[in-house]
Amino acid sequence: MAVKTPWFWYQPRLTAPAALLLPLAWLYGLGLRLDRWRTRPLRLPVPVISIGNITLGGTGKTPLVMGLARALQQQGFAVAVLLRGYGGQRARPELVTAESCYADVGDEALELAHQLPGVQVWAGSNRRLGARMAIDQGATLLLLDDGLQHWALARDLDVTVLDRCHGLGNAQLFPAGPLREPASQLGRADVLVLTGTQERGPIEAGQGQAKGLPWPSAKPQWAVTFALDPPQEAWAAPLVAFCGIGLPEKFFGALIDAGLQVVAQKSFPDHHSYADAELAQLLTLAQSQGALLVTTVKDAQRLPEPYRAQVLPIPLRLQPQALDPLMQVLLARIGHG
């Protein structure tokens, strides 16, 4: 079920609503420990790289996965991306194409399939089977999208992604806070990538500092920034922006920071499935303002067919050379080059 990010997750102190949810957070943590204890990782004959979050949503993981997939393609790897496919209905993995159905594979899988020609994208909850199917079809390297808490496959490198501005929020486990596992587990990853921008000015690649985070100083960590890449028509008119992502204010703020004229904005729950009536209302609002209706590329995968031509997706790109330090660590770890 799609839900909006609770306001109390990103408060600096424990609030009353979060405190009331602590018993459920304890049960969630117990289930997490049991799941990890009973799962024995399978070692595969090809390198496996995991990109995941310790927090729920909104970290910029998907553009990082796309950037890594492209960079690894350039190194000569036949890359396959494995993901559960949020909102998808399949346990058995499906090879995702641009013609796949959102209801079957989820929005993230469709976005990856559209943006990564030549990369296999497999969606399904059984990622062990998905890995075998990808290797059978020629994959020589696997990327586990959202793989930090996926214990079933052994990996050669664990990359965790964290939003620089929001950090660990109130540092409580779900549902009392945004954490998928205790903050003390952040350091079990091999590399930390901080995403976002500073309050003033961009963060240059390689200059991020994990201040106040339980991250081992001996392990590598970098900051990367993403930039919107608006189509030309987005500069020529005012915009009505909407999205259903983990941290919607990041998208709206990025539009404004880019210098685009945003006259109205509307947020929906993460992974929201849009109804015709909602989009008709948004189009009416945009028309009344003489504005274009814009959203994220991920949200565009969830639009009903009649509305796709009437909504302008705004792509998000990694800054140039942002992945160079991470690629050096990754290639050294898997013994390439």
Whole-model pTM: value is: 0.90
Strand pairing of 48-53 and 157-163?
parallel
Q: Is the confidence at residue 230, as pLDDT, over 90?
A: yes
Reported in sequence order, the residue ranges of 205-267 that DSSP labels E, i.e. its strands, are 221-224, 226-228, 239-243, 262-267
Q: What is the pLDDT of residues 131-163, one digit of tens each?
A: 999 999 999 999 999 988 889 999 999 999 998
Band (pLDDT 50/70/90 cuts) for residue 208 is: very low
* The pLDDT value given to residue 154: 96
Q: What is the pLDDT of residues 235-279, one digit of tens each?
A: 999 999 999 998 898 899 999 999 999 999 999 998 899 999 999
Q: d(Cα 156, Cα 325) in Å, to the nearest integer?
A: 17
Query: Quick one: average pLDDT of 286-297?
Result: 96
Tell me the pLDDT of the chain averaged across its residues.
89
Choose between 46 and 100: higher pLDDT. 46
Band (pLDDT 50/70/90 cuts) for residue 166 is: confident
Q: Is the confidence at residue 200, as pLDDT, over 80?
A: no
Domain 230-314 has CATH 3.40.50: yes
Cα dihedral: 245, 250, 256, 261 (round 10): 10
* The pLDDT value given to residue 87: 61
* The pLDDT value given to residue 317: 84
Band (pLDDT 50/70/90 cuts) for residue 164 is: confident
* The pLDDT value given to residue 104: 85
* The pLDDT value given to residue 198: 45
* The pLDDT value given to residue 203: 36
Residues across the chain: 337
Q: Which two tokens stand for residue 109?
A: 């899988």
Of residues 51, 107, 40, 52, the one with CA closest to residue 79: 51
